[in-house]
A and B are shown apart, each in its own frame.
Chain A
Amino acid sequence: AQTIHQWPVAEIKAVGSPLSLGCTIKGKSSPNLYWYWQATGGTLQQLFYSITVGQVESVVQLNLSASRPKDDQFILSTEKLLLSHSGFYLCAWSDNNQAPLFGEGTRLSVL
């Protein structure tokens, strides 16, 4: 069975500090990978997707970047956090034309 793991579970960071969130999927080769973000009280928005190692497409511009250094790993990062980056970040995977399946998420508070 496939498993998806996100880290860290939660982060409290200062404005202007860097951020790196990670996601690993096990038990599935060449998955489609996604990053989603949800502000408190807001809609779940897709940020990035990747269909293969080294290729990432941006869906929404939020001064964040994403990379896929390995087939099973997806990283979300920024060099300078903004207050507006606070929220809940979810990593997901899917097979083609299948519904994405989500990790447990990372709650980020930017102060």
Chain B
Amino acid sequence: GDSVTQTEGPVTVSESESLIINCTYSATSIAYPNLFWYVRYPGEGLQLLLKVITAGQKGSSRGFEATYNKETTSFHLQKASVQESDSAVYYCALGHDTNAYKVIFGKGTHLHVLP
């Protein structure tokens, strides 16, 4: 079936350090999946951070980047220098290319950034 696996948290890093949260997917029923990263900051709702719908392309937002790699079925989230305000739960998600009605989420990765 279709699934998303991401780094198990919590992940703790110090401010100004680099970050990578791994995400791999399995899309057996989807020819060209759309890939997303969502974020939930403390006390807030779930927000779309970035999305990429074409293999080989990179998405970026708020200093975060993720590249859609079809060969390795990965969509890792990276940031060169994290800030304390990046502390949140990050979710990788897989969407259908033609049937937008089904989106599958990973379990989420809780990120703590120490000041």
Q: Give Cα A100 to B38, complex, Å.
A: 10
Are B45 and A51 in touch, CB under 8 angstroms? no
Interface residues as binary, B37-65 with A (CB distance below 8 Å gives 1, 0 otherwise): 01000001111100101000000000000
Are B103 and A100 in touch, CB under 8 angstroms? yes
B87 close to chain A: CB less than 8 A:
no
Are A43 and B107 in touch, CB under 8 angstroms? yes
Are B45 and A99 in touch, CB under 8 angstroms? no
With a cutoff of 8 Å between Cβ atoms, the chain B residues found around residue A95 in the complex are: 100
A22 close to chain B: CB less than 8 A:
no
Are B48 and A97 in touch, CB under 8 angstroms? no
Q: Give Cα A103 to B44, complex, Å.
A: 10
Cβ < 8 Å to B, chain A residues 54-111:
57, 59, 90, 94-105
Are B91 and A46 in touch, CB under 8 angstroms? no
Q: How far is the CB of B13 from chain A (nearest CB, A)?
A: 22
Are B100 and A97 in touch, CB under 8 angstroms? yes
Are A101 and B48 in touch, CB under 8 angstroms? yes
A15 close to chain B: CB less than 8 A:
no
Q: Give Cα A23 to B64, complex, Å.
A: 31
Q: Given contacts A102-B46, A102-B47, A103-B45, is CB(A97)–CB(B34) below 8 Å? A: yes
Are A99 and B105 in touch, CB under 8 angstroms? no
Are A97 and B45 in touch, CB under 8 angstroms? no
Residues of chain B whose beta carbon lies under 8 Å from any beta carbon of chain A: 34, 36, 38, 44-48, 51, 53, 91, 93, 95, 97-98, 100-108
In the A-B complex, the 10 residue pairs with the closest CB atoms: A44-B105, A102-B46, A104-B45, A49-B101, A97-B100, A99-B36, A99-B51, A43-B107, A99-B48, A96-B100
